[in-house]
Amino acid sequence: MSITARIERLRQNYIRSKPSICHERARIFTESHKRSEGRPLPVRRAQALYDFCSEFDGPIFDDELIVGATGKFRKSGILTPEFSWMWVDREMDFFDKRPQDPYEMTDEQRAFVRGEIFPYWKGRSLEEAFLARLPRESLSIAVDSGVVDNDSKWRQAVGEITPDYQDVLFPKGLAGVKGEAEAHLAALSPARAEDLDKIVFYESVIIACEAVIVLARKYARKARALAAVEKDAARAKELLAISEVCRRVPAEPPRSFHEAVQFVWFIQLGGILSENPLALNLGRFDQYMHPYYMADRKKGLLSEEQAQELVEALWLKLSEWVWTISANTADFFAGYNQFQNLTVGGRTRDGFDAANDLSYLCLRATDSVRTHQPGLSVRIHSDCPQEFLDAVCDLVGQGTGFPAIHNDQAGTQMLLQAGYEPEDARDWSNCGCVVPHFRKTGEWTSAVNVNFGAALEYALNEGKSRLTGELMGRPCRPVSEYASYEEVEKAFLDQLANLVRHSVISTLTAQKLHARLAPRPFLSACVDGCLEKGLDLSVGGAHYNVGPVLTGIGLAVAANSLAAVRKLVFDDGAASLEELNKALNDDWEGHDRLRRMALAAPKYGNDDKYVDDIAVAVSNFYYRAARGYKDIFGSPFNSAFMGISNYIPAGRVVGATPCGRKAGRPLSEGVSPFAGSDTVSPLATMRSSAKVNHDVHTGGTLLNLRLSPELTATKRGKRNLGNMLRAYFSLGAFHVQFNTVSTETLRRAQADPEMYRDMLVRVAGYSTQFVNLSPEMQEAIIERTVHAAM
Amino acid sequence: MSAPSTPPCSRSRETRETGAVLQMQSFSVNDGEGIRTVIFLPGCPLRCRWCANPEAWTASPKLAVSHAKCIGCGACEAACPASLFPPRLESPAASGCSVCGACVKVCPAGALKILIQEMSVAEAARRVERDALFFRYSGGGVTFSGGEPTAQAGFLRALAREFDSRGFDMALETCGFFVWDEVEDVLALMSHVFYDLKHMDAAVHRELTGAPNELILENCRRLSRLGIPITVRIPVIKAVNDTKENLEAVCRFMTENLPGASIELLPYHDFGREKYRAVGLANQRHDGYVRPEAHEMEAAEDLFRRRGTTVVRYR
């Protein structure tokens, strides 16, 4: 229950109103681009943002404390045709009918965008350029195949940025950043060839900063105007206060907690309107907000309740805007999730405990409003206060799937591995779901999803897809010619290496195009390094540039399948590879006995060396394969086993697998076991997953466990949970997240979604409303093994 | 089936390096402090009429049939050297089943399972060691349960000594029907004992469990004198042992003999029903026991609290 009646009204609205497409942003951007033909692209993008900010009459909704909207509706999704319009054109007639993440859109809107917006972008969008440039050999495997999937990097903006409040935004304000850009500009000369690109860059930053300042001032005027006609004196006073706040920030540094919260939302808004980003993170919110909180508290200007009300208002703002994405992307990132991660707890840059009053307040706010955003993450270190761990376990016990729990030291180790300075490595926060990240960084943290199940299939099926018969992988020998288990494993790794290669090709193609077609003037103003270097984020402006992350999907399926092949065929001689392959072609129909043996073979997630060793070997191979390539800035690619909802669409394109899995069923997520196959105990599951060398997979690792709610119902149970976490992290593992909603509750929610609209579940790396998931996705959640205490 | 009036006596204080294990359950949080591994040692001198673990009455391996999973294909019968059809066996042991496992290997539905295996102390220690990390962080350890763990006193002793040398915290659950001299040294290694008091009236106790309770009560007094923390447990069954009279008798016994002991009341449950069928003991099952309502459990707990006895719940 929200902290105040006002927040509860906002919350009810968030729960009940449907996401709608608002095409205002697309309209104004398009008109602006028509006017700016011929000017440098970064300036045109910045100018379009400026035009939107000054033209759009942004609404202030009833009861709002934190203001600023992406469109006309409470839940507005925007269109960004400069990245891609073709998928919108193809899919928008069914936006309201698609199973995952539907949107409302009127026929009138559709006619307008088809008539006025899309024709301009034809031939100009990133998507078209990508499809035209992607080397032919990668086309069938890297475009909407479910095998090598990176469409969020060429149908969308990159996102994946954590604005720097600590060192850039709060100390300087956007006016200060703009001033710095102007100073740099003054020192440059159009007579020096090497200055020309920098001149364009600084000009674009100046316009972008002005744009968001103008946006805020418009809201200041709007609030004042509303106050003048407001009948309720208390609300009128409040609107005047809002007006004052918006006059001040984000142009100037904030002076109060309220100003700081509104500042953060304006920065989010600037980023959203610029590019409809995935994973525009809030970073270490409890750290950079704490001075403002303490100052106001000491001065007696802010009660704890008022602070929490402002934070809950921000949580609702973060949840209301809609990340507009294609049906394919929605399958991979299900649940209207914008992946705005917010991290609390952990250690300071000097290595001391960092938990403060705001860390606890954030946990309480998420418990109270139950919004799917922000993606609340915590860092737990070995000396973290017991009361903080208790508060974390309390929230776990609420069954929201929040927070995502991370091992502080493992995160630091991952960043050291990636080449960060020690203080920066200690100062990490999450990007998106479970990627340890530092705010002065340009990194494609979810560049590609790589389907391990497909690699396995190609190894056993002469390089062909079992479902379509199409040659997708490298052509290879028929199974009858494999004489040993080692040959099978090698064939799999060859196919996996090939998928990594296509992932790299696809990413490099996209990176090159982003550098030319997708300048990011506003976000470049928010990240340290860009102004100093005079370079946009898209061309490596950030202080750190870390290589793109390739996320492996289906590690458990690959390991379980290789183990089954080894056991059934080479150890026990229970079946030949040909027989096994025939069973897979028949999707196990008529091969019950063989399938039973396959299901009985060792499964990852039970602390069984036989299969866990394979998982470790495969994951190590994958790490080396990724690190063998460099991106356009010369940074090596990185590996990860994080989950999004990607294991479901990835499973759809993979036929039956030797582990006993049927065709089309989901694969496995992150370093989690295959759903339902971790039958020993959660301790065994944790021991298995900790065997993977988490520290080298700098793109993050994910373990998702479902616990019976009885386990966390008592204080004792929660204490045990906390201690279990400490034990798991002592093994070097990076992340775990718990779902504690019972199967019965999930079934009831399926039957009666109206009654369970607010129920959050952990999908993978993030939480979202269960009722907003497609039926298929809901079944996948239910299938995960429930670990009851025995 | 009837139980003897005195516990089976074995050679005093022997150790056995192998024994029968029904199950080792990681991540148990209801049988002592922290996260624990419960080792179920089969064999029990009592035959409580409501028993939920009939598979643990004796320590011999048993073939268990899941009737829910059985598809009636007959593969087991074809594979059985004695041509038995396990799903239809009223009593596998009496039918000549040697628990060879041939049927388990061929069952396509996964409906057959062998319960209870012979295990060495070293193997048990190896398995427990995997959970030890979680003990250290949670203050947990090993809990011996049954059956009745003291029924394999020699094996229990060897396990307890091994775990003691490894620094594991140990707890034990017992029905109390054992020869004191045979297990005193083992009990002394425990940091906590859960002690069942099923009924305070000797005659009723004998009727319900097949054995009298004098020895059980005497062992409990001795245990208390050893200074080991005791939690008395009552499997509370409606109209059987939840009467005011019986509860007050327990309370009196505790006040007079067990200073500092706590009590945990566990409501009877019927989860054992399927197990009787699974191990072919359906004809041994006694029906008609009733679980007390939540408010009745609360009232029973209150009775103890009012008399100054600490009530605990390991849930």
Model ipTM? 0.87
**Longest pairwise C-alpha distance within chain A:** 84
Contacts of A707 in chain B (CB under 8 A): none
Contacts of B131 in chain A (CB under 8 A): 683
Pairwise CA distance, residues A338 & A319, whole Å: 8
Least confident of A88-102, A166-180, A195-209, A489-503: A88-102
Q: Which residue of B has its CA nearest to A709?
A: B315
The 3-state DSSP class for residue A379 equals: strand
CA atoms A98, A99, A102, A106: torsion sign: positive
Q: Is the pLDDT of residue B110 over 80?
A: no
DSSP percent split of chain A into helix, strand, coil, nearest 5: 55, 10, 35
Query: Residue range A741-768: average pLDDT?
Result: 71
Contact assignment for A727 to B137 by CB distance below 8 Å = yes
- Contact criterion met (CB below 8 Å) for B279 and B115: yes
The answer to whether residue B312 neighbours chain A at the CB level (below 8 Å) is no
Among A592, A600, A724, the residue with its CB nearest the CB of B134 is: A724
| End-to-end Cα, chain A, rounded Å | 32
- Phi/psi of residue B84, nearest 5 degrees: -90, 155
Cα A702 to Cα A61: distance, rounded to the nearest angstrom? 38
Residue by residue, DSSP assigns A287-318 as HHHHHHHHHHHHTT---HHHHHHHHHHHHHHH
Domain chopping of chain A, boundaries: 5-138
Is the pLDDT at A469 greater than 90? The verdict is yes
Per the CB < 8 Å rule, is A724 touching B139?
no
pLDDT at A164: 98
CA distance A687 to chain B (A): 8
Q: What is the mean pLDDT of residues A121-129?
A: 97
How far from A116 is each of A57, A110, B304, CA to CA, in Å? 20, 10, 80
- The confidence score (pLDDT) of residue A776 equals 74
How many Cβ atoms sit within 10 Å of the Cβ of residue B235? 19
Q: Cβ of B314 under 8 Å from any chain A Cβ? A: yes
Confidence bin at B178 (pLDDT 50/70/90): very high
CB-based contact B213:B223 (threshold 8 Å): no
Provide CB contacts within 8 A for A75, sequence distance 6+. Answer: A14, A17, A18, A19, A20, A320, A321, A322
pLDDT digits (tens, 9 = 90+) for A79-124: 999 999 999 999 999 999 888 888 999 999 999 999 999 999 999 9
Are B32 and B140 a contacting pair, CB within 8 Å?
yes
pLDDT at A717: 86
Q: Tell me, yes or no, if B112 comes closer than 8 A to chain A by beta carbon.
A: no
Which residue type occupies A332?
A: F
Question: What tokens appear for A192 in the block?
Answer: 């020096």
Q: A135 Cβ partners below 8 Å, 6+ apart?
A: A505, A509
| Res. A602: pLDDT tops 50 | yes
pLDDT of residue A232: 97
Q: CB–CB of A71/A78 below 8 Å?
A: yes
Tell me the C-alpha distance between A11 and A760, whole Å: 14
Between CA B34 and CA B233 the distance in angstroms is 19
Please write down the HEC assignment for all residues of A35-67: HCCCCCHHHHHHHHHHHHHHHCCCCCCCCCCCC
pLDDT at A462 over 90: yes
User: What mean pLDDT comes out for the span A332-354?
Assistant: 91
How is residue A449 annotated by DSSP?
E
* The residue to which tokens 């009459």 are assigned: A57
Q: What is the pLDDT of residue B111?
A: 83
Residue environment code for A435-474, b if the CB has 16+ CB neighbours within 10 A, otherwise e: bbbbbbbbbbbbbbbbbbbbbbbbbbbbbbbbeeeeebbb
* Residue recorded with tokens 């939302």: A265
Which of B108, B130, B138 minimises the CB distance to A724?
B138
Q: How far is A720 from chain B (nearest CA, A)?
A: 6
What's the confidence (pLDDT) of residue B283? Answer: 84
- CA–CA separation, A772 and A14 (whole Å): 13
Band of residue A790 on the pLDDT scale cut at 50, 70, 90: very low
| A389-401 average pLDDT score | 89
- Contact between A444 and A509 (Cβ < 8 Å): no
Task: Tell me the chain A residues in contact with residue B140 when contact means C-beta distances shorter than 8 Å.
Answer: 720
CB nearest to A687's CB, from B109, B130, B313 = B130
User: Percent of chain B, pLDDT > 70?
Assistant: 95
Contacts of A726 in chain B (CB under 8 A): 137
**Which alpha helices (H) appear in A398-484, and where do they start and end?**
408-417, 422-426, 452-460
Tokens 């025995």 belong to residue? A790
Q: Is A76 left (phi over 0), alpha (psi -120 to 50) or beta?
A: beta
Instruction: State the pLDDT confidence band at A758, using cuts at 50, 70 and 90.
Output: low
Specify whether domain B18-59+116-311 bears CATH 3.20.20.70: yes
Among residues B283, B297, B286, B220, the alpha carbon closest in space to that of B257 is found at B220
Contacts of B315 in chain A (CB under 8 A): 710, 713-714, 716-717
Q: How confident is the model at residue B47 (pLDDT cuts 50, 70, 90)?
A: very high
Cβ contacts of residue A252 below 8 Å, gap of 6+?
A: A173, A175, A176
B126 touches chain A (CB under 8 A): no
User: pTM for the whole thing?
Assistant: 0.91
Nearest to A720 among B26, B29, B133 (CB): B29
Cis peptide before A135 (omega within 30 of 0): no
Which whole number is the average pLDDT over A152-163? Answer: 94
Calpha distance A447→A152 (Å, rounded): 8
Fold of B65-114: Alpha-Beta Plaits (3.30.70)
Are A684 and B133 an interchain contact pair (Cβ–Cβ within 8 Å)? no
Dihedral (Cα; B52, B55, B58, B63), 10-degree rounding: 170
Contact with chain A for residue B71, Cβ under 8 A: no
Contacts of B139 in chain A (CB under 8 A): 723
- Partner-chain contact B35 A607, CB within 8 Å: no
Lowest-pLDDT range, A342-346, B6-10, B171-175, B244-248?
B6-10
Tokens, residue A297: 């508290």
**What CA–CA distance (Å, rounded) separates B261 from B259?**
6
CB contact under 8 A, B315 and A710: yes
Residue type (1 letter), A684: A
Q: Which residue has the higher pLDDT, B194 or B76?
A: B194
Question: Which tokens go with B263?
Answer: 């009590």
Looking at residue A789, what is its pLDDT? 45
Which pLDDT does position A191 carry in this prediction?
Answer: 98
Per the model's pLDDT, the better-predicted residue between B280 and A182 turns out to be A182
Based on DSSP, count helices (H) and strands (E) in chain B, helices before strands. Answer: 10, 12
Q: Which residue of B has its CA nearest to A713?
A: B315
CB contact under 8 A, B27 and A592: no
Q: Give the separation between CA A479 and CA A747, rounded to whole angstroms.
A: 42
Instruction: Say how far apart CA A671 and CA A547 lie, in whole Å.
Output: 21
Q: What's the residue count for chain B? A: 315
Q: Quick check: B315 and A726 CB within 8 A?
A: no
Give residue A762's pLDDT.
58
The pLDDT, as a whole number, for residue B276 is 86
- How does the average pLDDT of chain A come out, rounded? 93
CB proximity B38 to A under 8 Å: yes
- Does position B89 have pLDDT exceeding 80, yes or no? no
Greater confidence (A724 vs A750) lies with: A724
| Stretch among A442-451, A532-541, A772-781, B110-119 having the lowest mean pLDDT | A772-781
Q: Decide if B137 and A683 are in contact by the 8 Å CB cutoff.
A: no
Residue A18 has pLDDT above 90, yes or no: no
> What is the per-residue pLDDT for B243?
95
Please give the C-alpha separations between residue A311 and each of A191, A317, A359, in angstroms, as whole numbers: 50, 10, 11
The predicted structure's pLDDT at residue B282: 84
